[in-house]
Amino acid sequence: MAAVTPLAIDTRKKSWMVGLGWGMGHTIGMLIIGGAFLLFKEILPINSIAKYSDQIIGILLIVIGSWSVLQTYLRYRNGNSKPTHSHSHEHPHTHSHEELSIHEKAHHYKLVVKNKSSTAFSIGIVHGCSGFNHLLALIPTLALPTMRQSVWYVIAFALGTVTVMITFAFVMGFIAHHSEIRNQDKFLKAFTYIGGAAAIIIGAIWLAGWGI
């Protein structure tokens, strides 16, 4: 959730796509490491893979959190959350990004959503591959009498994970979006800083070997 928070806040209205990406990636990562453990546990250095995955997660969380904090600082450093730009004509004027064409803004927003969702998906895969704690959730499949029941269990678990992350990301984006349209800049600034700081702190915890 620490990785999803800054991405969801920045994605605003379509933050649920960030949760969807992370949830799907996490499920795929769990299936990859679980399948590798069952099929190649005598060959693959599963412990080393899990260890390095933890370190990668820590680094990614710190990078995402630092990026979020830096972007927030740059956005608000002049006391204006909506950057302006000017053009030199016979009568110089300054206008905000709201005055850009609808098509240009829509295209930019689509790119933001796509990039943030892809990032969440990649981090989800790495997170799913880290450690063995995640595999405990799949242990019940070994006790089920038929393969069909095991498959349905995995599907239900995956749907549950994705649903939780979609809900969490949606709430983060919803709060950020409505804070923005209501011009609650101070709250939005603090909210974004907290999301970035949380990612940095939890990333440091992962690097310290206390992965959660």
The pTM of the full predicted model, rounded to 2 decimals, is 0.70
* Higher pLDDT, residue 197 or 98: 197
Q: Which of 90, 113, 109 is nearest to 98 (CA)?
A: 109
Q: What is the pLDDT of residue 163?
A: 92
CA separation for the pair 125, 144 (Å, rounded) = 26
Task: List phi, psi (to 5°) of 144.
Answer: -75, 140
Q: Is the pLDDT of residue 14 over 80?
A: yes
Task: State mean pLDDT over 188-197.
Answer: 87
Task: State mean pLDDT over 157-172.
Answer: 89
CA separation for the pair 193, 6 (Å, rounded) = 9
Q: What is the pLDDT of residue 211?
A: 53
Task: State mean pLDDT over 40-48.
Answer: 68
Q: Would you tell me the crossing angle of helices 46-76 and 4-11 to the nearest 10 degrees?
A: 40
Q: Does the residue 68 lie in any domain?
A: yes
Q: Does the residue 136 lie in any domain?
A: yes
Task: State mean pLDDT over 114-124.
Answer: 85
**Angle, vertex CA 73, rays to CA 72 and CA 79, nearest 5:** 100
Q: Is the pLDDT of residue 157 over 70?
A: yes
Number of structural domains, the chain? 1
Q: Does the residue 93 lie in any domain?
A: no
Q: Does the residue 36 lie in any domain?
A: yes
Q: Is the pLDDT of residue 80 over 70?
A: no
Q: Does the residue 83 lie in any domain?
A: no
Q: What is the pLDDT of residue 167?
A: 92
CA distances from 116 to 12, 167, 192, 206 (A): 11, 16, 15, 22
CA separation for the pair 117, 119 (Å, rounded) = 5
Full residue range of the structural domain in which residue 191 is found: 4-78+99-207
Q: Is the pLDDT of residue 29 over 80?
A: yes
Q: Does the residue 165 lie in any domain?
A: yes
pLDDT tens-digit profile of 129-145? 776 666 667 777 767 78
CB-based contact 18:168 (threshold 8 Å)? no
CB atoms within 10 A of CB 10: 24
How many residues would you count in the chain?
Answer: 212
Q: Does the residue 94 lie in any domain?
A: no
Q: Would you tell me the crossing angle of helices 46-76 and 16-40 to the nearest 10 degrees?
A: 170
* Higher pLDDT, residue 140 or 158: 158
Q: Does the residue 147 lie in any domain?
A: yes
